Structure 1
Amino acid sequence: MDVNDSGCTNKFAFSPNRDAGIYLPPNADTSERGLFELFFSDDMVAEIFRCSDEYTQDMKDKKPYAYKHYKSMTKEDFYKLVGIIIHFGYRKIPQYRFAWRQKCLCHDPFVASVMSRNRFDSLLAFLHVVDKATEADLKKKKDNCCFTLWLIVAMPDAEISIDERMVQSKARFSFKQYIKNKPTKWGFKLWCLCDACTGYTNNFIVYRGKEGESMSTHGLSYDVVMKLASPYTPYMNQGYRLYMDNFYTSPQLLKDLYANEVHGTWTMASNRRGYLEQIKRTVSDYNQKPRGSGVYMRKDEIVFNVWKDTKCVVVASTEHPGHSENTVEQNWKEKGEHYNKYMGGVDRSDQLLKYYEVVRQTKKYWKTIFFHLVDLATVNAFILHKIVAPQSKMSHYQFRENLVRALCCAPEVIVPRSGSGGRPAKDTTVKHYLIQGTKRVNCVYCKTVHQKRQLCSRTCAACKVPLCFTRNRDCFIKFHHRNFQYQREAILQNSTDSESSEEQSVTSPPTPEPMRTTPILRPPGSFKAKGRGKRRKMKW
């Protein structure tokens, strides 16, 4: 161990086999749907069609109601299904079936126009991603996970980061994880490799527990990093700089990555395998020193920095030299700034995923991962859109809305803009104005909202309902406001029904009342005294 050594590690030049950026096929569509379809290839979608049809024939007896409305899935049906799933991510409702209920406040006319509820239920019930033979083979191997997604559309810059990600689920499956200090405590755990600057997810692995993983002698964290950045993926021997937290750190991992021309920078915990005894003694000594004290030491190609902040922090790196013309404090600030800047690649991706995440309760646990892959493809497509069109000011919500409209083949709807101050919406076909009536009737708005009878003599010419329009009450504006839309439609429907019933009563001759043969006997106390006095009982 060299302390206060003037040497430094050799820094590899960043020379990737493929330059950082997006690699699109020739004449590729750079619209929202075109970027999204880069992650769902035609072969993958065709395989989903075949597996779904095969699963339908096997399960038609167990799901007769869903099979009744099922038809063979097409490409447009699949993308409409995915579009509605993405739509439910930013339009939260208690149950997705409420979107098709016309008398419910959660009714969504857009979803109802794209696909019927029975069709959506049948497609979602018979959705399958593996065939029967593959599923049986996976069960023999006790491997219930088979998910692939083509993600290498964009190559990252020199800085990449690795961290875990939790997908929320409380279903019953063997590799469900619980992490106490995470915002999402229960669910699937994914190991992710992301671009440290943009948050683009380049690779991921679903963690299947100790039974489903074959662990080497170096430990789980070592195997995860070497799988994500293995020689089969384009990250080795090209000068990439990798940032991780203290869960993955070990001196052996730093040495092996350095041998493959990959720099590493991360914090270290004292309970990790290979933690040097001299560093432990140094940390115990620096716990008593004032804030801002620090020292570095180097062993072979690894530089260890011990810095006293609120507590002692140890950073191991093969990228930054231990000694330079700057002071120890300046060196630590440089390393700390680099680590804080480039460590949050997975966190940026998680932040974009959590904004409009598709989380639905399903009977099949793998559908939760399928929904997550749809979210992941949407976020990656949004990041690609920001790279392709840097001058665009489209927000994440607008991108998802345009993507849903493109997947569902729905035209753009232009809603007429209403005036300020709660005035009625401008309608080019029907004009709403008040006309003076001949008799006074009850105001519809007062009767519906305030539950009281208020006489008025004015009526809306278009709606043909009586409304108040005085100095103290302006029910005409309140009735035509957009917040009163559902109640207004119900009132107008009831008025049309009453008018039709009145027309039927006018056309049909009135039935004569039968003559009474017995006298009408009234109970005592039912008579009202003459005049305006109080009601009193009359003696018989």
Structure 2
Amino acid sequence: MPNTRSSNRYIVIPNGLSEEEMDTSESEDEIGAVQHVLQDKLKINEENSSSEASDVEEMVTDPSTKRKKQLHWKKKDFEVPAADFTGTLPPPPIHEELEPIDYFYSMLGKESITLMTNQSNLYSTQMNPNKPLCVSENEMKRFIGILLMTGVYSFPQQRYFWMNATRVESITSAMSRDRFLQIKRNIHVVDNANQLDSNDPNFDRAYKVRPLLNIVKENFRKIAKEEKLSADEQIIPFKGRSIMKQHMPKKPHRWGYKMFILAGSDSGICYDFKFYTGKEGKPEHGLCTQVVLDLCETVPRSINHKLFCDNFYTTIRLQVELHKLGIYAVGTVRPNRLPGLIMKNEKDLSLEGRGAMDHRVAEVDGVQICAVKWYDNKVVNCLSTLHACHPVDFVQRWSNKEKKHIQVKRPNIIKAYNQHMGGVDLLDMLISLYRVNVRSQKYYIKIIFHLMDLSLVNAWLLYRRHCSQQKIPKKNIMSLLTFRVNVAEALLQSNPSPPPTVKRGRPSLQSITSDQTSPKSSRATPNPPPSKNIRMDKFDHWPIHIEKGRCRNPGCTGQTRISCSKCKLRLCLNDKNNCFIEYHN
């Protein structure tokens, strides 16, 4: 049987002819003619892309009329606007008036502590009415202080804070381990009974933490904003089960909850945030544009703030809308968000060498925008209503070809972006230094702990701003670690009740009755026995005299004043009983 080979061939058929009516040679001539025309058109497009005076029309949708408008890109000089910042920061408070704990309360809010106290007690009663939590606000403060203190240490498990060998005195003296775990198990900020059904259109996925998010967000919004701002994402590390969990492979923590942050470009202070719960309908301007506009709700209008964002957010519509609010924008942009824009391609720029650049200018709704393409190791596309290519400076780069550092031309828009885009990254780095070191399987607990860390870092950054305004020497400014420990100690020292007042005169019948019915103070916790290796190592075990107490040797009920200097246990050492030797052998 002869071998037959079948192949799929795509044939261009002229209008009015069927495939059967065509001759093969004629069809091949037709294909060749079509290919020749397409090649000529591609050559024309390449010539236009390298031309310096090309005008390109782009169709942009006008949101008011829902019609497409023509956008003309031109190769001309960008007119840099006069964008001097006209706002001023308020004067700082007097240095002696505000302590670190006051800064922390101004960020997290004392009402947050009251909220956690009330809702945690309510939740424990709902779960088991016979075992209520009965936590007070002072005890909740000590609980938060322990959480902040755990970020200073790097123990793998939380029980190590209470173990004899690794115990932290400031934590163990404030609260027992079981009480800490009980509060953590019942911590809540909202009443679960009021949660809507998942099928309800008003259902909120972040219902478990929404009240706390709103309190912290409103406190952040009250902070006076600096001139240059940056918008970016932040990841709350979490690998458990949650429908709100996101995956961002380019972040230091790839799995977790996503928050959109508006922060100061230079200071890193968080001015606003938006917790992302997933896709919810279709925003008016698209998700990327709408997120930035929501973050800029409290930014003062028409005083020439500058906003920097990456290519996830930057669109033509975003920069136009921000300009109408008196906010200038600079950011990298994805090429597919500039359809129809023709500039020098990557091949042409690479032939010119590192530092080659090209730009186009357009006007949308009376707003002038500039698109810049710069070639370093790769092509970078930027869009701005404030900066363009000039003035050009030089930046040092490593050349693999020449095996040395070389000077590369850099447009002004790239320089400004690199200088002022790192506000959120700075905030992330500071939070990661001393993050709360307590694990939990409940998905909302991680968000509550993150808000505490975020509030503390924001409090420290605001404290630094006030110190710099008062021109306090750097050596007198507390570091983040010192600031955190100071806040934690202030919370750990929250007493459950004031000391009782001593009444003068003869005691009344009521006071005598209350004294008789009041519970007796619990005994001191005995020292735990040492491990077997330490107990029988036969090294540095010396008998010392201490207060009289019960012998700790198993089976002995005698009283003794002799204790082991290493084991910290009372052991009999007399003519009748020699528990000291028996215990160590």
TM-score in same-fold range (> 0.5): yes
Q: Which residue of 2 aligns with 1:497?
A: 570
Query: 1:278 aligned to 317, 342, 346, which one?
Result: 342
Deviation digits for residues 435-478 of structure 1 (CA, Å, limit 9, x no counterpart): xxxxxxxxxxxx96996889xxxx989799xxxxxxxxxxxxxx
- From the superposition, tell whether residues 28 and 271 of structure 1 become closer, same or farther in structure 2 (CA, over 3 Å): farther
Q: Which residue of 1 aligns with 2:104?
A: 36
- From the superposition, tell whether residues 270 and 10 of structure 1 become closer, same or farther in structure 2 (CA, over 3 Å): same
Structure 1 position 354 matched with structure 2 position 432: yes
Give distance in 2, aligned partners of 1:294 and 1:504. 96
Q: Which residue of 2 aligns with 1:15?
A: 86
Deviation of 1:125 (Å)? 1.8
Q: Which residue of 1 aligns with 2:479?
A: 395
What is the aligned length? 424
3-12 or 255-264, which deviates more:
3-12
Deviation digits for residues 99-144 of structure 1 (CA, Å, limit 9, x no counterpart): 2232xx2222221101112221222222211124543478843312
Q: Which residue of 2 aligns with 1:92?
A: 154
Q: Which residue of 2 aligns with 1:384?
A: 462
Q: Which residue of 2 aligns with 1:427?
A: none
Is residue 83–residue 304 contact of structure 2 (8 Å, CA) maintained in 1?
A: yes
Is residue 354–residue 409 contact of structure 2 (8 Å, CA) maintained in 1?
A: no
Structure 1 position 239 matched with structure 2 position 299: no
Give distance in 2, aligned partners of 1:49 and 1:451. 48
Deviation digits for residues 344-369 of structure 1 (CA, Å, limit 9, x no counterpart): 00000001001011153223211101
Structure 1 position 129 matched with structure 2 position 189: yes
Query: 1:257 aligned to 304, 311, 322, which one?
Result: 322
* 1:298 alignment partner, SS class: strand
Deviation of 1:249 (Å)? 1.4
Structure 1 position 221 matched with structure 2 position 221: no
Is residue 14–residue 240 contact of structure 1 (8 Å, CA) maintained in 2?
A: yes
Deviation of 1:239 (Å)? 1.4
Deviation of 1:283 (Å)? 4.3
Code of the residue aligned with 2:205 in structure 1: it is N
Where in structure 2 are the equivalents of 1:3-402 lying within 5 Å? 3-16=74-87, 19-21=88-90, 29-60=97-128, 67=131, 70-71=133-134, 73-102=135-164, 105-136=165-196, 140=200, 141-145=202-206, 146=210, 147-148=213-214, 149=216, 150-210=219-279, 213-216=280-283, 218-230=285-297, 233-272=298-337, 274-279=338-343, 281-300=344-363, 301-321=368-388, 332-390=410-468, 391=473, 392-402=476-486
Is residue 297–residue 322 contact of structure 1 (8 Å, CA) maintained in 2?
A: no
Code of the residue aligned with 2:76 in structure 1: it is D
- From the superposition, tell whether residues 136 and 288 of structure 1 become closer, same or farther in structure 2 (CA, over 3 Å): same
- From the superposition, tell whether residues 328 and 81 of structure 1 become closer, same or farther in structure 2 (CA, over 3 Å): closer
Deviation of 1:244 (Å)? 0.7
- From the superposition, tell whether residues 81 and 268 of structure 1 become closer, same or farther in structure 2 (CA, over 3 Å): same
TM-score after normalising by structure 1: 0.71
Is residue 231–residue 263 contact of structure 2 (8 Å, CA) maintained in 1?
A: yes
Give distance in 2, aligned partners of 1:46 and 1:291. 59
Deviation digits for residues 399-434 of structure 1 (CA, Å, limit 9, x no counterpart): 1111111111189xxxxxxxxxxxxxxxxxxxxxxx
TM-score after normalising by structure 2: 0.66
Code of the residue aligned with 2:449 in structure 1: it is F
Give distance in 2, aligned partners of 1:243 and 1:370. 28
Deviation of 1:94 (Å)? 2.1
Give distance in 1, aligned partners of 2:142 and 2:569. 36
Deviation of 1:52 (Å)? 1.9
Give distance in 1, aligned partners of 2:341 and 2:539. 87
Give distance in 1, aligned partners of 2:466 and 2:459. 10
- From the superposition, tell whether residues 22 and 224 of structure 1 become closer, same or farther in structure 2 (CA, over 3 Å): farther
Give distance in 1, aligned partners of 2:341 and 2:544. 87
Give distance in 1, aligned partners of 2:333 and 2:299. 27
Give distance in 1, aligned partners of 2:300 and 2:197. 32
Q: Which residue of 1 aligns with 2:30?
A: none
Code of the residue aligned with 2:370 in structure 1: it is V
What is the root-mean-square deviation of aligned Cα atoms in Å? 3.3
* 1:316 alignment partner, SS class: strand
Give distance in 1, aligned partners of 2:92 and 2:467. 15
366-375 or 285-294, which deviates more:
285-294
Q: Which runs of 5+ in 1 are unaligned?
A: 412-446, 465-489, 508-540
Is residue 349–residue 356 contact of structure 2 (8 Å, CA) maintained in 1?
A: yes
Is residue 359–residue 368 contact of structure 1 (8 Å, CA) maintained in 2?
A: no
Code of the residue aligned with 1:364 in structure 2: it is K
- From the superposition, tell whether residues 453 and 381 of structure 1 become closer, same or farther in structure 2 (CA, over 3 Å): closer
Give distance in 2, aligned partners of 1:314 and 1:152. 32
Is residue 5–residue 322 contact of structure 1 (8 Å, CA) maintained in 2?
A: no
Code of the residue aligned with 2:332 in structure 1: it is T
